[in-house]
Structure formats: structure tokens, C-alpha cells
Amino acid sequence: MNRQQRERAELFHRLHAGPAPLMLPNAWDAGSARVIESAGAKAIATTSAGMAWALGYPDGEQLPVQELLEACRRIGGVVTVPVSVDIERGYGQDAHATGELVGALIQLGVVGINIEDGTEPGTQTLAKPSVLCERIACVRAIARHHDLPFFINARIDTYLSNLSPEARLEETRKRALAYIDAGANGIFLPGLADAEEIATLVQWLPVPLNVYAGYPGAPAAQALQQLGVRRISLGCGPMQAALAHLSTMATEALDEGRYDTMGQRMWSPAEANGLFRSGAH
């Protein structure tokens, strides 16, 4: 771990305590990461779904670990801001496997992860919280070994499960506190949209709250800031939009022989080349 990586890790922590929430339009490859950085992003976070789709795999830890690492290496080679990687449920059968993956990511310069409890495969039943607690503790130990203030963002899927609304909030609180005790630095709650529940969780939690806003009609950043949210993720939304736009362009060309949509807004080769420095990889 070098001085630059430590400085980026420390900066990533500070970005969760700034005057406004940390906004993360999630990246899926080196090109998207540079576009997002050039737009003014102060950090890059990856989308697991987007990375899998970009490499020809479905979401859900179907992307082989070595391909995940290679994609992260390429991202780290073209950006200068802190990078956090979504590792889904941690990959592998146990916490040791997660620790090995995080150790490899740290070697690539990564300063944080997003890791989730998730639901049991093929169901909406939440996985036992002890599983994620073990993985978080292992990651924290690996980070400590590297003397790196690594940021662990623990995603809780209570708002994506079959829990009743009455049970959901309390189960979220219990899981969040357990994950924080295990070493998590932040809590991510995709599916959480109710303003009152967001405000309640902000009061309950001693760490930054991260919400998902990658859907039409999501609350604006200013509204989420007023509720106390410290991190906003767009998740796979940017890539979903990019894929839809590409589909429109392809259909227009193939069915109508026109290129209007593509021509409405496109960079010149010089602008695209300008994103990258020679020999970045």
C-alpha cells in the first residue's frame, strides 16, 4: 500500500462527510469511469451488474473473479480519484474467499467495497446476517494488515425482500448495527424511498447512509441531503440507460436507415481520445 492509495482512501472517507452527499454515477468499465470522472465525479464506484453485462455475463456473481479484477485494474489505470468496487455477496463460499478477493483489489489500488447480505438464491428470503458479518470482519482484518483505512459499505436487502413493512424497519436496524459492529463504515439500502423511514434510519445509524436513486422519479439530491443521506448511488441505471439508447440507435439504423438519434449528441474522436492518456494501461 503506497502513500497515494492511503491518501485516496482517506479522501473517500471525507467525501462521506462533506457539505453535500457523495454522488456516484456508477461505472462499468474504464471508458465509463473516465467519462464519469471527467464530468466531475470525486470518486468512482462500480456497478456489479453493469460490469457483468459489459463482459457478457448476467448479474449475480456470474462474472469470473479474474475478469472482475482485470476490469478493476483497467479502471484504476485511467482514473485518479478513489475507486470503490461492488463485490456483491463477496464471491466464494466463505469469508476467506472474500478476504482473498479484497486483498487482490487492494493490490490494484482500490480503497473501498460495496458488499451485500442479499437473499437466498431463487427466493426473497434474506440471507442470515451472520454470513455478512463474518465477511465484513475478514475484510476489515485484511485492510488492517495493509494498514489501509478501507471503506466497507454494507448493503442490506431488507427493502428488496419479502419482509412485511412492519418488520422491515426493525430488521434493517438490527442488521445495520450488526454489520457496523463487524467493521462496516457505511450502510446502503436499495429500495428505501420513504422520506420518514430515511430520516429515522439516519438518526439510528452512527455511519453514513447510502440510498439508491437510479430510477425515474427518485428524490433529488437536495431532498435526500435534507433527510441526512450522505451517499447517493445510481447503480446500474447509467448502463441501463446507455443500453437502451444504443438499442434505439441500432433499431433506427437497421429498420429505417437513419442515424438521427446518434447524430443528436456524439463526441468527436478527439474528445473521446482526450479522455485517456497515452500508455494508461
In a domain, 262, yes or no: no
Distances (CA, A) of 278 to 15, 184, 212, 274: 29, 38, 35, 10
In a domain, 244, yes or no: no
**Coil, strand or helix: which one is 121?**
coil
Domain count, the chain: 1
Q: Which strands, in side-by-side order, build the sheet including 22-24? A: 22-24, 231-233, 209-212, 186-189, 151-155, 112-116, 83-86, 44-45
CATH code of 166's domain: 3.20.20.60
**Relative orientation angle of helices 95-107 and 65-78, to the nearest 10 degrees:** 30
The whole domain housing 229 covers 3-238
Distances (CA, A) of 277 to 34, 42, 193, 219: 11, 19, 40, 36
Cα separation, 213 vs 25, whole angstroms: 10
What's the whole-model pTM score? 0.96
In a domain, 259, yes or no: no
Cα separation, 36 vs 30, whole angstroms: 10
C-alpha cell at 17: 462527510
pLDDT of residue 279: 57
Question: Taking 60 as the threshold, does the pLDDT of residue 280 lie above it?
Answer: no
C-alpha cell at 178: 450488526
In a domain, 281, yes or no: no
In a domain, 271, yes or no: no
Question: Taking 90 as the threshold, does the pLDDT of residue 162 lie above it?
Answer: no
Of 3-17, 115-129, 249-263, the one with minimum mean pLDDT is 115-129
HSE (CB half, 13 Å, CA atoms) of 87? 34
What would the mean pLDDT of 194-216 be, rounded to a whole number? 95
In a domain, 273, yes or no: no
Cα separation, 158 vs 124, whole angstroms: 9
pLDDT more than 90, % of the chain: 90
Is-contact 110 145, C-beta < 8 A? no
Is-contact 91 101, C-beta < 8 A? yes
**Coil, strand or helix: which one is 218?**
coil
Is-contact 238 32, C-beta < 8 A? yes
DSSP class of residue 195? Answer: H
In a domain, 260, yes or no: no
Tens digit of each residue's pLDDT (9 = 90 or more) over 43-102: 999 999 999 999 999 999 999 999 999 999 999 999 999 999 999 999 999 999 999 999
Cα separation, 265 vs 245, whole angstroms: 11
Type of residue at 90: G
In a domain, 249, yes or no: no
Residue linked to cell 437536495:
222
